[in-house]
Structure 1
Amino acid sequence: MRADTVRDLCLADRRAAAAEALAGGGGVAAEAIARELADDSSPVDRWHVVPVLRRIGAAAFDPLVRALLDASTDEAREWVGAAFMRLGEEALERYTATLSHPAPHVRRWAVRGIRHCDEPGPAALHALLPLLGDADPEVARTARDTLLDRGPDLADGLVPSLREIRREGPGRARARALSVLAGIGGEAALSAEDLAAVERLIRVKAPDERPVALWACWNHWIAVPGGDRAGIMETLGLTGPRPVTFALGNDIVDSDGHDAGDGGSEAFARVFVTPELDGWTFVLGAWCDPCGAERSEDVLRLCTRLSARYGQAQAYYYGAQGDGSAWLVAERGTVLRRYCETGEGEDELLTLGEPLPFERARRAELGLSPEWDAAQESDEDEAEWRTAAFDLAPELAKALGVSPLDIGPDTRARGAGVLAMTPYGVAHGVPTGAYRI
């Protein structure tokens, strides 16, 4: 099989004929493809060869393993590996058998091959368990990540084996086994001994901990003056508080925020309630979203109640990856302002109240009229304001009190932070996950 035939896959007018010829060429064609992938100077794109390799089937496996071993550079090896791991379910047994290969990078790509199978099944996932203690850290991490990704649907079958690793070792597999247990089964998957150890670690770390800033891709929070954590939780209907470190609380908020960004309603199950920080208490989590369709009206109601009890209450959203801002400000039982600028088509429908002094001042800084009417603004002025408002929530929060995105070791803290269940969490449970403590 000539290299020219493989390279014809790069040419739109020859691709179909080349693919047919290669697909019928069996192992010989697979050898030619593998050589091209392992050659840094080859123009062949893995996305063109993967469909052909899948049609060749089992005969492509060994040539690609040899190419993984023979590739002269890391970049070439990545190209070969990217094709190798996409051979599909037909190669599942071969991937599983290759987990014991003496070359670490071959083991790693075999693990990725299992991860890319639509239904790897219990046998393949159980075969990954010994690799949690692999001598090569990258192989061990890849095995852990694959079990976290593919294991939740088979958690009942994996949990006993993972618990055995926790009890019996090997030692270097124990920490990863714990993270997989938490990730696929949550707290219920942990043994009583492991759960007690986690709680003990939190108790040991919390007293000496200093505040750290919240920083997630999607940040949602409610801010209330003072430190009446119990009263704030009562007003919000939060229950089951459990002590957490800042690292743990923030990690959970970040993870749940990603679930919310992907449309996952489990993101509303829990919140991180901070200690009193520079005179404010924060409730952090996607459940506090003042502008999302699922939560906006309830957050409006809750902030109104909080402000009637504590004089003020604010709710914010800030998308740190350029996903916009929103704010809700209530005082003494009345909503003064709600404004959203997130790029969604119906943002304007959520607008309530008159612009805040901070908003007017920012418009003046931009050279825009502080008293604006969107219907009368030019397109350029409207675009300039919207661009500025996209990143405004943290600045506004700081101007009106304290922003949890700006707290740090020097922030005055009183009390301890807790993770609390929302009414949604009580009714539906919480997502599983492994988090930093």
Structure 2
Amino acid sequence: MTDDIRTLIQELCEASPEQSDAAEQALCALGTRAVHELLPLLSDPTGPGRLRALSCLGAIGSEAVPVLQRIRREGPGQLRRPALEALGDLAGGQALEERDLRAVDRLVRIKLIDERSEDLPIGRWIAVNTGQVDDIVSALGLHHTRPATVEMGICAAVEFENSVEFHRIDQPMEHAYRVFITPQFDGWRLIYGDDFINDHWAWAVEKLSSRGKQAHFYLVDDFDGANVWWVAQNGSDRRGYRTYGDPQWVGEPMDFERSLMVDEDDPLYDAAEHADYAEGVTDPESVASWISIPPNTVSIAERSDHGWLAVTHQEVPHERFKGALRI
């Protein structure tokens, strides 16, 4: 049987798409018997069989967890690392033993010592002009706050599972979210968490701005052409734009917008430019460059502190979320 599995592994990586599909189906059908042979494919991040192997392990599902846990404890040594990744993807931190959780925590703290700033993704984010993480945690009612590298935080809050359903006794189903608070960049911290922000951005910027601060929400959605930017101050909406909003504009133009509005009496008047800025600025990245900091420029910004990962419910720890986070 082992030789048959190795033949299927070879076909999974090297055969035609049709043969690879057939090999993947056969390996999935073998269940836990295929786990040991699939794991080496995870060790090569650019290998042709990595995604296929992840798919197979996902299909095998929870039945693979005891096998992977045994590999973590007993080896073979070369499979321990990919077994850890597979456990994170299949079951999250709740499938890891205490010593593995401690090892991950130590690695994070080591990485934070000399972490270099990398630009952050453009998509949806909140910006708040406070360097105090406690203020953000308190305003949003966050829990289980822990240090995190930027790569780890973006994985957790954007790329992998960042919301889970749970319910308390005699209570309706609720959602718990993962939220990543970035290091401070030029006096601003950015907040990521795709599902949380998608569901609660208006509430979040109101709460974050309620203590004399300013909080912004930005959305750049290239898929359907939606742009949104919103500024709240002292707990109230100050200015906002939504491509598909009704109304599109809220509040009076901010100073930076007025500086871009072209006066028809100006000798340098340009009709096209006037049309662009007649009502205000619509591009969220441009707005961020004027009044906070765009995510794709933080690598050249002045940085302090490090990132923090948190969840929105005390009852739901980080270990409930699936995904093998890069550190």
Q: TM-score, normalised by structure 1?
A: 0.60
- Say whether the 8 Å CA contact 1:180–1:434 is kept in structure 2: yes
Deviation at 1:132, TM superposition (A): 1.5
Q: Which segment drifts farther, 221-230 or 101-110?
A: 101-110
Give a deviation string over 1:156-201, Cα, whole Å, max 9, x none.
x211111222233333322211111000000001122211111110
Q: Which residue of 2 aligns with 1:243?
A: 147
Matches within 5 A, 1:269-280: 269-280=177-188
What is the CA RMSD across the aligned residues, in angstroms? 3.7
Unaligned runs of 5+ in 1: 1-93, 373-384
Query: CA–CA distance in 1 between the matches of 2:246 and 2:186?
Result: 33
Amino acid at match of 1:303: V
Structure with the bigger RCO (C-alpha within 8 Å, sep 6+) is 2
- Match of 1:432, as an amino acid? K
Residue in structure 1 matched with residue 265 of structure 2 by the alignment = none
1:150 aligns with 2:59: yes
Name the residue aligned to 1:172: 78
Distance 1:128 1:430, change over 3 A: closer
Cα distance in 2 between the residues matched to 1:396 and 1:330: 14
Instruction: Provide the residue aligned with 1:308 in structure 2.
Output: 210
* Residue 34 of structure 2, aligned match among 127, 136, 140: 127
Change (3 A) 1:370 1:407: closer
- Normalising to structure 2: TM-score of the pair? 0.78
Find the residue that maps to 1:366 and give its secondary structure.
helix
Structure exhibiting the larger radius of gyration computed from Cα positions: 1
2:275 to 361, 368, 372: 368
Pick one of 107, 111, 115 that aligns with 1:201. Answer: 107
> Counterparts of 1:227 and 1:354 in 2: how far apart (Å)?
28
- Count matched residues: 305
Partner of residue 310 from structure 2, selected from 409, 420, 428: 420
1:368 CA displacement: 0.8
User: Residue 268 of structure 1 contacts residue 285 of structure 1 at CA under 8 Å; is this kept in 2?
Assistant: no
Q: What percentage of residue pairs aligned between the two structures are identical?
A: 29
| Change beyond 3 A, Cα 1:136–1:231 | closer
Q: In the TM superposition, what are the counterparts of 1:7-406 in structure 2 within 5 Å?
A: 98-101=4-7, 104-105=10-11, 112-113=21-22, 115-116=24-25, 120-121=28-29, 123-133=30-40, 138=47, 141-142=50-51, 144-151=53-60, 154-155=61-62, 157-215=63-121, 219-256=123-160, 269-287=177-195, 289=197, 292=198, 294-295=199-200, 299-319=201-221, 323-341=225-243, 346-349=244-247, 351-359=249-257, 364=262, 366-368=273-275, 370-372=277-279, 389=282, 392-406=283-297
Q: Is the 8 A contact 2:157 2:193 kept in 1?
A: yes
Higher helix share: 1
How far, CA to CA, are the matches of 2:161 and 2:86 in structure 1? 21
One-letter amino acid of the structure 2 residue matched with residue 272 of structure 1:
F
Q: Which residue of structure 1 aligns with residue 167 of structure 2?
A: none
Distance 1:243 1:147, change over 3 A: farther
Q: Secondary structure at the match of 1:418?
A: strand
Alpha-carbon separation, structure 2, partners of 1:213 and 1:269: 23
Cα deviations by residue, 1:79-130 (Å, 9 ceiling, x for unpaired) = xxxxxxxxxxxxxxx9x9842229824666566435458x945x43432432
The amino acid across from 2:190 in the alignment is F
The amino acid of 1:330's aligned partner reads A
* Change in CA separation of 1:256 and 1:167 when aligned onto 2, cut-off 3 Å: closer
Aligned-partner SS, 2:209: helix
The 3 A distance-change label for structure 1 pair 116 and 321 is: farther
Equivalent position amino acid for 1:393 in 2:
P
Q: Given residue 205 of structure 1, which amino acid in structure 2 is its aligned partner?
A: K
Q: Is contact 2:181–2:189 with CA below 8 Å preserved after alignment?
A: yes
